[in-house]
Structure 1
Amino acid sequence: MPMSAAPEQTTRRRLPIWGYLLLVVGYLVAIQTIPQLTKPSDTEYANFETISEVTRGLWVTTGVGILIVLVVVGVLRWWRPVFVEENRLPRWVWLFPIVLLVAVAAGTAYSRLADRGATFTILLLIGALAVGVSEEGLFRGIGVVTFREAGYSDGMVALWTSVIFGLAHATNLFTEGFGAIPQVLTTAVAGYFFYLTRRVSGSLIVAMAVHGLWDFGLISCSLGDAISLGAALFILADIVLAIIAIATIRKVFPKRQPSGSQPVAS
């Protein structure tokens, strides 16, 4: 093992999978309850029509989430393994984040954002990017490292972090009812795309940015009384990428080998 890697390895703490699951539950409780004290009472999930709803709802939610992630990463001393991806995938996997960004560029409801003004748009963009920081930090950051440290293969790391990401959105069943079930499934699939973004880019920050922009575009489509037609492009991108993901799964994960956080020294 290189001498430079020894200090980080010796000071890094471990988080068991059960501890990570408790962290996810605590995170969800915090982001679901604390914003109730600040956001307007008639605000619907992921539907922000005013500056007040963005700042008192979305900003508070993401602020709490980011704080939890940063504290946990700091306590565990996982800064590098969380934010830097050493085991990168082939360049063709860039197809996934590129398609996601094309859907954002083409599907964002620009006219609806223009109707609400530059201030609203900027604040919403910041809030959406903060969602990416918070959720990617917890699931593709802390989650990925936790399962790797436990000795799971790359494929199982991708599977379980995506499943947990999807199930985490099942909390919306309490506010949205059974209508949230499709969201749970599509969120789990999107989680896999964000995982591939981390792996191919070599950085969690890229996955955070793609996730945040994706949410920004989706939220813009929900502005107003009816869903924008641009939302269909987001759905189409999900379907196309899901088909590609199924067809290429063996190329991405050719062998079921343990994926530790540090390579074995030769």
Structure 2
Amino acid sequence: MWLPLGTALVFTYAVIGVLGWWRPVFHDGKPVRRWVWAVPVIFLVCSLLAIDYGALGDKTIGYIIALFLACQLVGWGEEGMFRGIGVTALREHGLTEGKVALWSSVVFGAVHLTNAVGHGATADPQALAVSFAGYFFYLTRRVSGSNVLNSILHGLFDFSLLTGTVILVDQEPYIGSAAAILAYLIVGVLVLVRRHRIEPATAA
């Protein structure tokens, strides 16, 4: 996993460097209301609950660290591309913040449709779920004022999912993985209910 993911990571941040976008990518100057901190907190708690600690106990420390770092490469690479370059590019074109949130999330989900090559029609619901995750990571970027926290959480979320699905041969489904689905549901309902209270009170 390290080689392709590491190459993608280097490419992403090389593009950021060539464009001279280090500050807009890593610094988000569009704050949201403080309650939005609930989004990364919920994702953090659910990610920790979704980790299959029993399965990890059968692995070496080196294996666990290698898998965790590989997932962080995914988090930093994808967040750098979609919440970093993507959000910055859309803002540079003068889109409203609502459209920036929408299109950066839609593109993020659409890219995952390429998984249809190996997984067929199951890639469609995955792409939809990923689009929602993209929006939640976008909110995390804005409330934290940086592209760091969402990158770390993205990697941790993927790590938790992988520990409950593919790290062991013929592994039984891990019931704790349901916590990842729970994160989507809780955050989705929360954001839906408070969608008119995301932007600062002074915003139009």
Report the equivalent of 1:124.
Answer: 67
TM-score relative to the length of structure 2: 0.94
One of 125, 131, 134 as aligned partner of 1:182: 125
One of 22, 31, 37 as aligned partner of 1:88: 31
Secondary structure of 1:115's aligned partner: coil
Instruction: Give, as a single letter, the amino acid of the residue that structure 2 aligns with 1:94.
Output: W
Contact 1:81 1:145 in 2 (8 A): yes
Q: Which runs of 5+ in 1 are unaligned?
A: 1-57, 259-266
Report the equivalent of 2:194.
Answer: 248
Report the equivalent of 1:97.
Answer: 40
CA-CA distance at 1:227 after TM superposition: 2.5
Contact 1:85 1:202 in 2 (8 A): yes
One of 144, 150, 163 as aligned partner of 1:207: 150
Report the equivalent of 2:8.
Answer: 65
One of 142, 155, 159 as aligned partner of 1:216: 159
TM-score relative to the length of structure 1: 0.72
Report the equivalent of 1:227.
Answer: 173
Secondary structure of 2:175's aligned partner: coil
1:236 and 2:188 are equivalent in the alignment: no
CA-CA distance at 1:254 after TM superposition: 7.7
Instruction: Give, as a single letter, the amino acid of the residue that structure 2 aligns with 1:131.
Output: V
Contact 1:154 1:253 in 2 (8 A): no
Give the structure, 1 or 2, with the largest relative contact order (CA under 8 Å, sep 6 or more): 2
**Partner Cα separation in structure 2 for residue 69 and residue 195 of structure 1:** 18
Encode CA deviations 1:219-253: one digit per residue, 9 max, x unaligned. 11113323211111110111111111222222224
1:115 and 2:61 are equivalent in the alignment: no
Report the equivalent of 1:40.
Answer: none
One of 101, 109, 116 as aligned partner of 1:158: 101
Report the equivalent of 1:6.
Answer: none
**Partner Cα separation in structure 2 for residue 131 and residue 218 of structure 1:** 13
CA-CA distance at 1:65 after TM superposition: 1.3
**Partner Cα separation in structure 2 for residue 250 and residue 174 of structure 1:** 39
**Partner Cα separation in structure 2 for residue 91 and residue 253 of structure 1:** 10
Q: Percent identity?
A: 41
The runs of 4+ residues in structure 1 deviating greater than 6 Å are: none
Q: Which runs of 5+ in 2 are unaligned?
A: none
**Partner Cα separation in structure 1 for residue 186 and residue 150 of structure 2:** 19
Instruction: Give, as a single letter, the amino acid of the residue that structure 2 aligns with 1:67.
Output: V
Encode CA deviations 1:80-105: one digit per residue, 9 max, x unaligned. 00011111112110100000000011
Report the equivalent of 1:197.
Answer: 140
Contact 1:69 1:138 in 2 (8 A): yes
Contact 1:129 1:213 in 2 (8 A): yes
Give runs of aligned pairs for residues 252-263 of structure 1, distance below 5 A.
Answer: 252-253=198-199
1:106 and 2:49 are equivalent in the alignment: yes
Q: CA RMSD in A?
A: 1.6
**Partner Cα separation in structure 1 for residue 199 and residue 104 of structure 2:** 15
The structure having more radius of gyration, on CA atoms, is 1
One of 127, 133, 154 as aligned partner of 2:76: 133
